[in-house]
Amino acid sequence: MSELTPFLGRPGTAHRGQAVVEVTHGIGLHARPSVAFTRLAKSFPCTIEVAVDGSNEWFNGKSIVKIIGARIRRGTRLRIRAEGSRAEEAVAALSELVRRNFDEDRKNGRPDGRPA
């Protein structure tokens, strides 16, 4: 990737962010978690990329096709990086979403493993 285009961030805003977070959700980033992840990612103006720890292949974090294709399973250490306006904020929010198990526990769903 080449150097960044100018951003509109406030002076003093960091333009890069990076974090590593472990995926603890039941299966991993399958359908619903990846929808939550990409929708949140798309709410930020910066570029966002993810990689499975140990791999140098970075995927577009706003593309559900790429996220699903990356097969991010439970136990994976997920690297998230962002560049551009509100990059640090984006990384923090996405890491927090993964730690919160994509808010699935708070949804009605099947909290106690009732059959689908």
Partner 1 sequence: MGVPMAAPRDLRGRPAAPGRALGAVHRAEERPLPSGPPGESDARAALEAAAALAAGELKALSERSDEESAGILDFQIELLLDGELLAPALERIGKGEGAALAFAAAMNAHMDTIAGGGDAFALRAADLADLKSRVLDALAGRTRADFPQGTVYVGRDMPPSLFLAHDWSGGGGIALSAGSAASHVAMLARSRGVPMVVGLGALPVESGDRLLVDGSEGVVRLDPEERLLSPPPSVVAAPVPYAGVAPRARLFANIDTLADLDTLDPALVEGVGLVRTEFLLPSAAEVLDEECHLARYRRILDRLAGRPVTLRLLDVGGDKALPGLVEGSPASVLGERGVRFLIAHPDLARLQARALLRAAAHGPVSVLLPMVTLPAELVAMAQLFDEEAARLERQGIAFARPPLGIMVEVPASAFTLDLFTQAAFFSVGTNDLMQYLAAAARDNPAVAHLYAGAETAMFRLLEHIATTARAIGRPVSLCGDLAAEPAALSRLLDIGLHDLSVAPSRLAGLRAALAGDA
Query: Do residues 87 and 19 make contact, with C-beta atoms less than 8 angstroms apart?
Result: no
By C-beta, is 14 or 65 nearer to partner 1? 65
Residue matched to tokens 């619903």: 32
Considering only residues 75 to 104 of the shown chain, the ones binding partner 1 according to CB under 8 A are none
Tokens of 38: 């990409």
Shortest separation between residue 66's beta carbon and partner 1, angstroms: 6
Cβ contacts of residue 37 below 8 Å, gap of 6+? Answer: 29, 61, 67, 94, 97, 98, 102
Shortest separation between residue 12's beta carbon and partner 1, angstroms: 33
Contact call for residue 111 and partner 1 (CB under 8 A): no
Considering only residues 1 to 60 of the shown chain, the ones binding partner 1 according to CB under 8 A are 27-28, 30-32, 34-35, 38-39, 60
Categorise residue 9: left if φ over 0, alpha if ψ from -120 to 50, beta otherwise.
beta
Task: Please report, as ranges, the residues that interact with partner 1 according to CB under 8 A.
Answer: 27-28, 30-32, 34-35, 38-39, 60, 62-66, 68-69, 71, 107-109
